[in-house]
Structures are given as C-alpha cells and as structure tokens.
Amino acid sequence: MSDTDPIRTSPVSMENCGAALAMTVVPDRWTWLILRELFYGVARFADIQDDIGIPKSVLSGRLATMVDTGLIQKEAYRDGTARTRHGYVLTQKGRDLVPVIVALMQWGDKHLKDGTATLDLTDRRTGTPVKAGLVLEGGILPARRLAFAPAAHGDN
C-alpha cells in the first residue's frame, strides 16, 4: 500500500518526448531484430531473413521503412566473385542506437539468461570491459539515484 498519490499525466507529452518519438521509429520487434542483425554485421536480405525467421514481405517492408527513417542504408559490396551484391548497413543514426541495443542486451542477460553474458564487450583500443549504463562523471549511476525534470527550454 503506497500513500503517495501517483501523478495523473506524464511531465512531457508524447510529441515532445525523445523516448516516445524514438519508439515510433523503432516500433516493433522486427525492427529491433533487424537492427540487431546489422549490429552483428549480417547485411544480406536472405541472411537476415534466415537468422530471424521473418516473412520475406515483412522484411522487405521493414527495410524500406528503415531506409526512409534513416536508420539503415543499402550498400554495394563485392562478394569475392566479379559480381556486385547489395546489403544493408547501419547509418550513423542507426549506429547511435548501439548503446540502446547493448543496454537491452545486458538487461536480457540479467533477467532472461540468469546473468549469463551474451557477448564479451570490450574497448576495441584497450581491451577493457565495456558496459552500458547511466553515467555520471567517472562511473555508472544506479537507476534509483536518477532524478529528472522537464528540460528548461520550455516546449515540453
């Protein structure tokens, strides 16, 4: 039993919330799973299809939308033969979702895999282990210490 009366409406409207807007651009599990494939470096239509078991027409639609929203782009590459083939890669906008994917992965590792890590994440330069988290100068901040208020620019 809580004696705190919960708030009646979120302090930021959907139209002004970066999170709600992001959820519109990455709206469903297929889109997340395609981002995961591209994060791993799987690039070809048929390979993505095989990996995540997505119907061809659905994959086709999601990829087109993701190109439109700027998350991914088509890229030509040589496959060792004389032929030029095409795949998909993350754009910078898409790559900027990597910390989100890593944070989600860590959450899955903790809560759905009994703490077993999916990947060893390290700094490419030094080999130091890497985690995703809330960051304060010098370290990770526990979520319970996070305070927030609508930003001061006045259009929330």
Give residues 83-102 in contact with its own copies (rule: CB under 8 A). Answer: 84, 87, 89, 93, 95-102
Kindly state whether residue 3 participates in binding its own copies, applying the rule CB under 8 A: yes
Interface pick for its own copies out of 23, 56, 60, 64 (rule CB under 8 A): 23
Q: Name the 3-class secondary structure at 117.
A: coil
User: What is the distance in angstroms between the CA of the first residue and the CA of the last residue of the chain?
Assistant: 32
Where in 102-141 is the site for its own copies (CB under 8 A)? 102-113, 116-126, 128-141
Long-range contacts, 46-49 (Cβ 8 Å, 24+)? 48/88
The separation between CA 52 and the C-alpha centre of its own chain, rounded to angstroms, equals 16
Q: What is the dihedral angle through the alpha carbons of 112, 118, 123, 129, rounded to the nearest 10 degrees?
A: 60
- Name the token pair of 11: 């302090």
Binding residues for its own copies, total number by CB under 8 A = 109
Where in 34-93 is the site for its own copies (CB under 8 A)? 36-37, 40-44, 47, 50-53, 70, 75-80, 84, 87, 89, 93
14 versus 64: smaller Cβ distance to its own copies = 14
Q: How far is the CB of 28 from its own copies (least distance, A)?
A: 5
